[in-house]
Amino acid sequence: MEEPAAGSEFRSGFVSVLGLPNVGKSSLVNQFLGKSVCITSFKAQTSRYHIRCIATSPKRQIVFVDTPGWVKTDRLIDKLFRLEIDRGAE
């Protein structure tokens, strides 16, 4: 990537995509990027980990963070899943 010219404004930031499972978070990120980077499926809980994608141009850089769907239940598998997500955030 080339350095921005003196006096020009270079901006960067993070966009976290959060929501319930199977609502199109990964599809939205793919649309923003114009490529199929994040996995998509009709099956719920396809994304198991955070996926970071970077869109770059001479004047901007956007880091998209695609997150797994967030479900709160009392099932053991869901508790273990949340534990793994919390551990990955450290």
pTM of this structure: 0.60
Sign of CA dihedral 71, 75, 78, 79: positive
pLDDT digit string, tens, across residues 23-48:
888 888 888 888 887 777 666 666 66
Around Cβ 13, how many Cβ atoms within 10 Å? 8
pLDDT digit string, tens, across residues 39-81:
776 666 666 677 888 888 899 999 988 888 776 677 777 667 6
